[in-house]
Amino acid sequence: MLERLFQLVQHQTDVKKEVTGGLASFLTMAYILCINPLILSQAGMDKGAVFVATCLAASFGCILMGLIANYPIALAPSMGLNVFFTYGVVIQLGHSWQVALGAVFLSGVAFLVISLFRIRELIVEKIPLSLRQGIATGIGLFLTLISLKIAGIVVVDDNTQLTLGNVFSFEAAMWVIGLLVMIGFAARSWRGGMLVAIAVITIISLLYGKSDVDGIISAPPDAAATYMAMDLSGALDIGLLAVVFAFLFVDLFDSATSLVAVAQRGGLLNTAGRFARFGKALFADASATLFGASLGTSTVTTYVESTAGVAAGGRTGLTSVVVGLLFLVAIFFYPLIDAVPLAAASPVIFYVATLMLAGLINVEWEDLTEAIPVVITAIVMPLTMSIANGIALGFISYTLIKLVAGRYKQLNALVIVLSIFFTAELLLRAHN
């Protein structure tokens, strides 16, 4: 049966290698089980219900990816869009978490349509590379600011907006310890650094009375608090169109980038250098987002951490199925997850943010028509606490700068249409 489903012999692998690969991928991304409930609970969501939604959405996405696309690629709630969900959409813009879930669901519907009608390549190819780099960088800077604020290293100031906080506080100390642990693991090419950092901070918090643990294994928490709680009518408000687009846009490019990275690492591209089942992979991603939003979690996306499973020998969808089954098993370990303090989230967020800033090296700094939109996109996100604002001003500035520079031929219809859309959305927002 396994041979029929996954063609193990054709991919020069076996069950042992696939299980090992699945375990490796799970260990590198299991940190999301701790971090996602912590972040979304800050939006007012029930932490236990979010944990169940995280486990089930990740499991569904992984198993679906394995069965229909047969790729060793795992999925889970996005580490970045969950922060935008809480701190950007709910806290900054003032929307309810139910409306934010509705926006996630609508972005999943749009992603599904894009996947089914094969227009994904058009979008990916027509969006300028500089804008994509600017968006990735902006999200990284956005996450960096959130991380430092959670740790209390950066605090709000009435005179200067932001200023240095107490760098000798317990939260700041945990940020330093967690970051050093992850750097130490990364420098030695050891896997699981984020998970170990979370464990170390949790143990220290328990010893200092900053956290407590009530057992190891239990029945899963009640998920009713977030199940089918999304507010679709509220998410259809004109003011949330940019938010829906931000969820869609980031998920699309995050998934496409991660898929390529994992495929290249495992030699999974065909002779033409392309995915044989790219559409099926994106379909699994979009379906997982819809499923996750229905249960009560933010956008589900492809994880580049899947490269750990590929490096360990995983070559087929059986690896993803193994990851999905492990996420199902994890649902019974909520008492351990509940003991993880918010202080453990800040160094993990910062570490992920640092990885997202790597694209700056590829920016054409000598060409100001490319560099300035990158800077505008990147800096607006953290300063306005909104990924959507950064994307909007990035597209608008890119179009205007190209026109002024006389390089209108470098623009395409998609960029122009999106620039007009974002301009109209900002005008409506300013009028209201």
Count of other CB atoms within 10 angstroms of residue 431? 6
Q: Rounded mean pLDDT of 228-248?
A: 92
pLDDT score at 262? 81
Q: Output 382 or 238, whichever has higher pLDDT.
A: 382
pLDDT score at 5? 87
First-to-last C-alpha distance (Å) of the chain: 59
- The yes-or-no verdict on residue 335 having pLDDT over 90 is yes
pLDDT score at 256? 82
- The yes-or-no verdict on residue 298 having pLDDT over 60 is yes
Three-class DSSP category at 162: strand
**Is residue 427 in a domain?**
yes
- The yes-or-no verdict on residue 274 having pLDDT over 70 is no
**Is residue 4 in a domain?**
no
- 148 φ/ψ sector (left φ>0, alpha ψ -120 to 50, else beta): alpha
pLDDT score at 271? 59
- The yes-or-no verdict on residue 99 having pLDDT over 80 is yes
Any bridge partners for residue 154, and if so which?
Answer: 164
- What are the pLDDT digits (tens) for 84-93? 999 999 999 9
pLDDT score at 161? 87
Percent of the chain exceeding pLDDT 70 equals 98
Helices and strands, number each (H, E), in the chain: 20, 4
Is the CA virtual torsion 284, 287, 293, 296 positive or negative? Answer: negative
- What are the pLDDT digits (tens) for 115-153? 888 777 677 778 898 998 999 999 999 999 999 999 999
**Is residue 1 in a domain?**
no
Residue 74: partners with Cβ closer than 8 Å, 6 or more residues away: 25, 26, 29, 58, 61, 62, 65, 302, 303, 305, 306, 309, 319, 320, 323, 324
Hey, what amino acid is at 215? Answer: G
Q: Rounded mean pLDDT of 43-71?
A: 97
Number of domains within the chain: 1
**Is residue 6 in a domain?**
no
pLDDT score at 330? 97
| Lowest mean pLDDT segment, chosen from 127-131, 269-273, 334-338 | 269-273
- The yes-or-no verdict on residue 273 having pLDDT over 60 is no
Q: Rounded mean pLDDT of 214-228?
A: 95
**Is residue 2 in a domain?**
no
pLDDT score at 279? 84
Residue 235: partners with Cβ closer than 8 Å, 6 or more residues away: 99, 100, 101, 102, 103, 105, 106, 244
- What are the pLDDT digits (tens) for 104-114? 999 999 999 98
> Does the pTM exceed 0.75?
yes
Q: Rounded mean pLDDT of 185-199?
A: 94
**Is residue 99 in a domain?**
yes
325 lies in which domain range? 11-353+363-431
Q: Rounded mean pLDDT of 330-352?
A: 96
- What are the pLDDT digits (tens) for 16-34? 999 999 999 999 999 999 9
**Is residue 5 in a domain?**
no
- What are the pLDDT digits (tens) for 372-393? 999 999 999 999 999 999 999 9
**Is residue 168 in a domain?**
yes
| Lowest mean pLDDT segment, chosen from 173-187, 193-207, 301-315 | 301-315
- Strand 154-157 vs strand 75-77: parallel, antiparallel, or unpaired? unpaired
Closest CA to 291 of 120, 119, 136, 65: 65
pLDDT score at 353? 93
Main-chain dihedrals φ then ψ at residue 76, nearest 5 degrees: -170, 170
Give CA–CA dist 113/208, Å, rounded: 50
pLDDT score at 126? 87
**Which helix (H) or strand (E) covers residue 156, if one does?**
strand 154-157
- What are the pLDDT digits (tens) for 34-43? 999 999 999 9
73, 306 Cβ separation under 8 angstroms: yes
Which tokens hold the place of 85?
């969900």
